[in-house]
Structure 1
Amino acid sequence: MTSRDSRTNRPGKLDPLGPLRDPQEPGCDVFLTGTVFLDIIFTGLDSAPVRGTESWARGMGSSPGGVANMATALARLGLRTSLAAAFGDDHYGEYCWDALEQGEGIDLSMSRTVPGWHSPVTVSMAYEGERTMVSHGHEAPPPTGPGPFPWCPPKARAAVASLAAGPGEGWVAEAARRGSRIFADVGWDDTGRWDLGTLPDLSHCEAFLPNAGEAMRYTRTECPRAAARALAEKVPVAVVTMGAEGSYAVDSRTGETAEVPAITVDALDPTGAGDVYVAGFVTGSLAGWPLADRLAFAGLTAALSVQEFGGSLSAPGWPEVAHWWRTAPEALRGRYGFLDALVPPGAAPSPRRRAVPTIGFRHPVQ
C-alpha cells in the first residue's frame, strides 16, 4: 500500500477563518475519513428507468463521490481539509486522487493507494427532483504496516463523522481527545431500531445534524422541532434539516434556538446536498458565527449545490456564493446581510464548476 505527497489548499482562496488564525494553530481545519466512490451521474431523465426499456439521459457527469463530496465542499469554502481514505489501484482511483489533491487542494497525506483493489463505483440517476443509485464495491483491506491512522488522527480544529448503529469508531474519540470539535450526521438505520444508544460516538459530538425523518425516528417524536429539542439533551447543538421547510437548531449550552426557511430553487440533482449543508454549518461554526447565520449559510450552500448535477463538483465555493449575493432577491437581503462582510466586493465571478462527461480528457478542452 502506498501513499503520495499532498498539497495544502491553494493560495488566493477566501479564508473564512483568517481573523482567527495564529502561528500555533493546527495546520488542518477539518479532518474526515470514509470511502471514496467514483460517481457517474445521469440527469435529464424524464422518468425513472422502466424495466425492459432503454432510457436516454440529456446529461452525464463523473466526479469523486462518497466522502469526497464532504471533503470537496469543505475545501471549496476555504477550510484546510485532510482526508484519510483508500483509493483503488485503477484509473478510477487515480482520477479521484488527482481531482481531490490537484483540483481541490485537499491534503491526502493520510490516504493510501491499495494495489489490486478496484475503486467503488456509484451510478446515480436524477429525475423529478429525486435520485436512484446503484453502487458496487468491496471493503478496502486494512493497512498492513504501522501508521498514524486510524488511532491517531491529525490535530485539527474539527472533524466530521458519519454515525452508524454499532460500536463506535476509535478515531472519533481520539480526535475529540486531541481537541477537535466533532460534527456528525447519520445514515439510515438498517436495523430499524432507531436507538440513540447504538450511536456511542454521539457522546463526543459538539453538533449532530440529522434530517427530519431520522431525528423523529430517533427521538420518537412527531415534529422536527420537538426532535431537535430532544436531541439537544444528548448533544450541545442539535440541527434538524427539514427539506423545503428549511432547518431548525437548538444550542443546549446557551438555550438559543434558530429556524431559517429554505431558499426556493429549481433543483436539478440533490446528490451531495446534505454533505454541502454540513460543510456550510461547520464553516460558520469554526468562524464563530451566530446560530441563525450558520443555518442560513448552510442552507444557501445546499441550495446552490442542487442547481448543478453531480455530488462533489456541484459543491459551491465563494465565487458562487458571491454571484448569488450580488443577485439575491431583495426579500432575502436582510437575512443574508452577514455575507457583506465575507464576500469580496467587486470579485469577478468564476465559471461554474460542472461534472464532466468522461473520466478525463487526454488534452485540455480549449
Structure 2
Amino acid sequence: MDPLAALRRPDDPACDVYLTGTVFLDIIFTGLDAAPVRGTESWARGMGSSPGGVANMAAALARLGLRTSLAAAFGDDMYGDYCRDSLERGEGIDLSMSHTVPGWHSPVTVSMAYEGERTMVSHGHVAPPRDPALEGDRECPPRARACVASLVPGEPQEWVATAAGRGSLVFAGVGWDDSGRWDLAALPELGHCEAFLPNAAEAMRYTRTECPLRAARALAERVPLAVVTLGADGAYVADGRTGETARVPAIAVEALDTTGAGDVFTAGFLTGTLAGWPLEDRLAFAGLTAALSVQEFGGSLSAPGWPEVGAWYEGVRQYTLSPEAAAAAGQDPEALRRYAFLDALLPRCGRPGPLRRAVPTIGFRRA
C-alpha cells in the first residue's frame, strides 16, 4: 500500500523520507527469567538477529509504504553484507547514499530482554567519512518530503538545516543527555523541525516541568508538533500552530522485545503526518504500529506492514461489536473504536510475500 498515493504529483521528490546514521547488527536474547548475574551462565529461550540502529527506523518507514533513502556506512564483513542485503533487497530501501568501508567491521549490539525491560551491550568504531569525490553531482541530503534526525546535545548536525531548506519536514528524537544539563539551547536543530518526539522523562527534564503534558505544551512553543511518549500510558501531542492537543492510551499487548519501538512509533506518526491525517489518528496509528512491533524480535524486522495492521484490525472488530468479548480479552471497546479511520485505508493495503522476521542466525546457505 502507498499511503501517499492520492498526494503524489509528477514533480514530487523521488524520496519520501531520508535518514542517516549508524547501522548495527542487533543480536537479541529474550525469555530470560532475570538479569544475568556475574559469574553465572544464563540461557535465553529465544534469540533473533536483525539490522539495528538507524535501520530500525528505515525498515519501519519502508514497511509502511514510504520511499525511504538511507545514508550509512557498512562494513565489508559478513555482518555488513547481511545488513545491506536485508535493507536493500529485503525491504526495498534506497542505499545509493550509503557506502561500504574496506577493513571496517560492523558495529554490534547485544540486547537482553527480561521483565519487560532490556539491557544492551554495544561495540563498534566510528566509520571514516565518505570521500566527497564519490558523491558526484548528487545532492546530500536529497530532496525529500521528510527526514528523520536523532539530535545530540552540543553536536550540531548541519545537514538538518540543509534538508529543511530544501523543503523536508524534519522529525527529530533525542537521546539521554549524559551531561545532565538538559538545555534546549544545545539542540539548535529544533528550530528547523516540524516535530519533536522525546519520551516523558526527556521532555520533563528539558522543560523543567513535572508533568509530561505540560512538557509537551512547553515544547510546542519551540516546535510545531511536540509528541511525548508515555510508555504504558500511551502518548500525547500538542500542536504549536493551532493549539490542538490529543492523547491516546497505549494498546495492551504482551511484549516480547521492545527494541526499536520508539523508532516504529515515529515512523507511524510521520506516515500519518505526510498523509494529512487528523492529529489524533496519527497518534493512534503510531501507538498501534509500536504495539505490534514489540510482539516480534528485534527492531527493524519487528516493524509491521499494512497486512499486519489489517490483521490486527480484523481481530479487534469483534471487540467493538461485542463488549462481552472485549471484556474477556481485557480490551476497551470504546478505545478500539478510535481506530475506525483504518476502514478507509485497509482495503487498499497489500504487500507481496511475508515480511522477513529476525531469526537466530544471520543467514542460512542457499542451495
**TM-score of Structure 1 vs Structure 2, range by shorter chain:** over 0.9
Supply the AA of the counterpart residue of 2:190. L
Question: 1:137-148 to 2 correspondence within 5 Å?
Answer: 137-148=124-135
Distance 1:187 1:138 in 2: 19
Spell out, residue by residue over 1:126-153, the C-alpha distance to the aligned partner (whole angstroms, 9 max, x if none): 1111100000000001123424499831
Distance 1:182 1:312 in 2: 21
Partner of 1:317: 305
Supply the AA of the counterpart residue of 1:356. V
Supply the AA of the counterpart residue of 1:117. W
Distance 1:278 1:144 in 2: 31
Partner of 1:93: 80
Q: TM-score, normalised by structure 2?
A: 0.93
Aligned to 2:36, which of 26, 31, 49? 49
Distance 2:254 2:6 in 1: 35
Q: SS of 1:185's equivalent?
A: strand
CA contact (8 A) 1:167 1:200 kept: no
Superposed displacement of residue 353, structure 1: 4.2
Q: Does 1:166 align with 2:166?
A: no
Q: What is the number of residues matched between the two proteins?
A: 351
Q: Does 1:283 align with 2:271?
A: yes
Q: SS of 1:60's equivalent?
A: strand
Superposed displacement of residue 354, structure 1: 2.3
Q: Give 5+ residue unaligned stretches, structure 2.
A: 321-332
Distance 1:316 1:80 in 2: 16
Q: SS of 1:344's equivalent?
A: helix
Q: Does 1:184 align with 2:184?
A: no
Q: Does 1:123 align with 2:110?
A: yes
Distance 2:39 2:148 in 1: 42
Distance 1:206 1:43 in 2: 36
Spell out, residue by residue over 1:172-206, the C-alpha distance to the aligned partner (whole angstroms, 9 max, x if none): 11000000000001100011100000001111001
Partner of 1:66: 53
Q: SS of 2:204's equivalent?
A: helix
Supply the AA of the counterpart residue of 1:99. S
CA contact (8 A) 2:248 2:283 kept: yes
Distance 1:333 1:28 in 2: 33
CA contact (8 A) 1:42 1:125 kept: yes
CA contact (8 A) 1:151 1:171 kept: no
Aligned to 2:198, which of 210, 214, 221? 210
Aligned to 2:141, which of 134, 153, 171? 153
Q: Give 5+ residue unaligned stretches, structure 1.
A: 1-13
Q: Does 1:270 align with 2:258?
A: yes
Superposed displacement of residue 252, structure 1: 1.0
Superposed displacement of residue 309, structure 1: 1.5
Partner of 1:18: 5
Supply the AA of the counterpart residue of 1:28. C
CA contact (8 A) 1:323 1:349 kept: no
Superposed displacement of residue 349, structure 1: 10
- Report which stretch shifted further, 346-355 or 21-30: 346-355
- Report which stretch shifted further, 326-335 or 314-323: 326-335
Partner of 1:339: 342
Distance 1:71 1:144 in 2: 23
Distance 1:62 1:214 in 2: 29
Partner of 1:9: none
Spell out, residue by residue over 1:251-284, the C-alpha distance to the aligned partner (whole angstroms, 9 max, x if none): 0111111111110100111000000000000000
Spell out, residue by residue over 1:50-95, the C-alpha distance to the aligned partner (whole angstroms, 9 max, x if none): 1101111111111000000000000000000000000001000000
Runs of 4+ that moved beyond 3 A? 147-151, 345-353
Supply the AA of the counterpart residue of 1:30. V
Partner of 1:5: none
Q: TM-score, normalised by structure 1?
A: 0.93
Aligned to 2:289, which of 298, 301, 309? 301
Q: SS of 1:327's equivalent?
A: helix
Distance 1:85 1:286 in 2: 24
CA contact (8 A) 2:306 2:349 kept: no
Distance 1:72 1:88 in 2: 19
Q: Against the structure 1 CA distance between its residues 211 and 35, is the aligned structure 2 distance closer, same or farther, given a 3 Å change threshold?
A: same
Aligned to 2:27, which of 28, 35, 40? 40
**Structure (1/2) with the larger helix percentage:** 2
Q: Does 1:228 align with 2:208?
A: no
Superposed displacement of residue 348, structure 1: 9.6
% identical aligned pairs: 75
Q: SS of 2:301's equivalent?
A: helix
